[in-house]
Amino acid sequence: MPRTQHIRSFRQYAESLENLLSSLGTTRTGGPARILPALDGEPSEKAKRFLSTETLKKRGAFFTGRTLARRAVRALLKDENRCTQVIDPACGLGDLLLQYARTMPVYPDLRRTLQLWGNRLLGCDMQADFVRVTKARLALLAMQRGAHPATVAREDLDSLLPGVSVSNGLDCPSPSQPLVVIMNPPYTLTTAPDNCSWAAGRVSSAAIFLDKWLTGSPEGSRIVAILPDVLRTGTRYSRWREYVAKHAAINSIRIVGRFDGGADVDVFILDLSVTSPEKPPK
């Protein structure tokens, strides 16, 4: 299947979720059975099928999945300020945002629920169809958790969830207030920017993402990132690890092992609290 046809097929899947959302607002029958696959592994399976493994590897896209997302988000639920905004700067199909949204309040009114979530949940991805799927899944999750079905069109999702947008997570403006960052960034190799102090040449995009959000987030922000294990163990990234320790207090490092059965990469979960580099953690 030609690449353009692969992309068109996945775009049709995104449209099918939006159509499902609209139809549930009018028929109100068969909701749970139709919603649950979209909230679990179906979107990533469709992406792997329609976009091909080679295409996804070139993009460095490894979809988090519900089990790994649950492990990443779990630590945030113990002591996180419930009024804080949460951003996933490489949201993909939205697994991390969905897992966090599972802990947020739900009102009987779907639009009111999405307005609440839209004020707190932020995300970006360079693939427009991924962003469409993320927004539709958030609305379907709200229904699955008890919000009454309502007719919601694609343009409604854009207005209710304005913080989930098509953009490059490396280009987002630095936040002015502390926030929570959850991410599973791309694992591709890229060229380190000229101002990179810990490496030159080809480095992991995941390391660049962590650097950007670590130094760009105000003191008191929390970052939980799923990262390739080479960042934890590789000699090439020893200066990166020193850099991270200078800017953050490390709350925990959890070794996961193989990302999943279809991804030949080991990962770990890094949990950080952003500090001032002038006040290194004790």
Average pLDDT over residues 119-146: 95
pLDDT above 90 covers what percent of the chain? Answer: 65
Class of domain 1-282: alpha beta
pLDDT value, residue 234: 95
Distance CA 88, CA 74 (A): 15
User: Over 60: is that where the pLDDT of 1 sits?
Assistant: no
Model pLDDT for residues 25-46, shown as the tens digit of each residue: 766 555 667 899 999 889 888 8
Q: What is the DSSP string of 169-208?
A: TTTSPPPSS--EEEE-----EEEPPTT-SS--SEEEHHHH
Global confidence as pTM: 0.89
pLDDT value, residue 64: 72
DSSP one-letter code for 152: -
Average pLDDT over residues 254-265: 77
SS3 per-residue string spanning 222-255: EEEEEEECHHHHCHHHHHHHHHHHHHEEEEEEEE
Task: List the single range of 20-29, 125-134, 142-151, 247-256 with lowest mean pLDDT.
Answer: 20-29
User: Over 70: is that where the pLDDT of 57 sits?
Assistant: no
Model pLDDT for residues 271-280, shown as the tens digit of each residue: 999 997 655 4
User: Over 50: is that where the pLDDT of 282 sits?
Assistant: no
Query: Is residue 140 a contact partner of residue 31, using CB atoms and an 8 Å limit?
Result: no
Q: Give the residue with greater pLDDT, 33 vs 253.
A: 253
Task: Give residue for tokens 């279809």.
Answer: 262
Q: Token pair of 192, please? A: 């380190």
Residue 260 burial (CB count, 10 A): 16
